[in-house]
Amino acid sequence: MRLRRGAVKLAGMTTSIPLVVFTDLDGTLLDHVTYDWEPARPALAALARIGAPVVLSSSKTAAEITRLQVDMGLAGHLAICENGCGLVGAATGAGTGDHAALRRELDLLPPQLRQAFRGFTDMPLTEVMDLTGLPRDDAARAKARDFSEPGLWLGDASGRAAFLDALRARGVSARQGGRFLTLSFGGTKADRMAEVIAHYRPARTIALGDAPNDIEMLEAADTGVIVSNPHHAPLPPLHGEDTGRIIRTDRPGPAGWNKAVLALLDRLGLQKERQGHG
């Protein structure tokens, strides 16, 4: 069998994709406060040189992720959007339920429960801008929901429990994030990760994340990297940390991301020299 250009031979099996990197965005590849990713440029360039797809995996919408992919030179790579509810760039349009169906379920709830939840779709653009601190175009992309609905619970705690119970009975699950309560028909980053692996068939996987909604992904990868985030409590010890399969960065955000990825590429023998450099 002829090897395709750029193919590598590993332990008797042939694959053209040596590695896929799955990465969370906020607090991981993007700085927690400034959303800057510049410090990760050297590692992103090293991954591009070896043909390793970087799969952005985030609570962000497809519209937000597609924009970032273009900025980062990752256009055309698969990505995981809305916390694992959907895939970006998949020909099959894989995903869990759809946003219109989710809104219909919401509107079938008793009015006193429904009215106390204010979702992004219920809000004018200016309200989403105020709540998120995003400029107009970015807020519009955050409002472009395909699967899930983030929002605020404006009622009391007992109403919130009744709201969540009523949603659960309709097959809708809720996940509380740092600021928003996000409703969906389920799905985790790790569910979509399996589909991405089936698509690329890489020799190895690395996952990087900073928060509880990344745990399934970190534990499912060949190597997991917990990126330090001093803005919230550290993740508890994860399964695989004792054996070194999951590691922690000392530096936060994109600087920690860059250092960890370059070190792993070295360890795996996957570093290619930059042409015309040094």
**Which region among 19-27, 90-98, 239-247, 250-258 touches Mg ion (by CB under 5 A)?**
19-27
Return the range that interacts with Mg ion (CB under 5 A); candidates 22-30, 83-91, 174-182, 232-240.
22-30
Q: How far is the CB of 30 from Mg ion (least distance, A)?
A: 8
The Cα–Cα gap between 22 and 206 comes to 6
∠ Cα 21 23 27 (to 5°): 150
Q: Considering the rule CB under 5 A, would residue 256 count as an interface residue with Mg ion?
A: no
- Check binding of 24 to Mg ion (CB under 5 A): yes
Q: Does 82 bind Mg ion (CB under 5 A)?
A: no
Single out the segment in contact with Mg ion by CB under 5 A; choices: 20-28, 139-147, 200-208, 218-226.
20-28
Cα 143 from chain centroid?
17
Among 77, 167, 210, 258, binds Mg ion (CB under 5 A): 210
Note whether 53 binds Mg ion by CB under 5 A.
Answer: no
- Map residue 119 onto helix, strand or coil: strand
**What would the two tokens of residue 128 be?**
């989403």
Contact status: 260 vs Mg ion (CB under 5 A)? no
Which one, 82 or 210, has the nearer CB to Mg ion? 210
Q: Of 78, 67, 60, 62, whose CA–CA distance to 24 is shortest? A: 60
* Residue 27 or 119 having the CB closest to Mg ion: 27
Among 18, 27, 89, 150, binds Mg ion (CB under 5 A): 27
Minimum distance, C-beta of residue 2 to Mg ion, in the bound complex (Å):
42
Binding of Mg ion at residue 26 (CB under 5 A)? Answer: yes
How many CB atoms sit inside 10 A of residue 169's CB? 10
Q: In the annotation, is 24 catalytic?
A: yes
Is 84 among the residues that bind Mg ion (CB under 5 A)? no
Nearer to Mg ion, 105 or 210 (CB): 210
Q: Report whether 18 contacts 201 (CB < 8 A).
A: no
Site for Mg ion contains 138 (CB under 5 A): no
Nearer to Mg ion, 203 or 206 (CB): 206
The residue among 54 and 109 lying less far from Mg ion, judged by its C-beta, is 54
33-52 residues labelled b (16+ CB within 10 A) or e (exposed) = eebebebbeebbebbeebeb
Element (H, E) at 203: none
Q: How far, in Å, CA of 127 to CA of 270, rounded?
A: 47
Bridge partners, 15 (sequence order)? 8
* Closer residue to Mg ion (CB): 106 or 260: 260
- 211 touches Mg ion by CB under 5 A: yes
> How far apart are alpha carbons 136 and 187 in whole angstroms?
29
Name the DSSP letter for residue 185.
Answer: S
Q: How far apart are CA 66 and CA 74, in angstroms?
A: 9
Residues with catalytic function = 24
Contact residues toward Mg ion (CB under 5 A) are 24, 26-27, 210-211
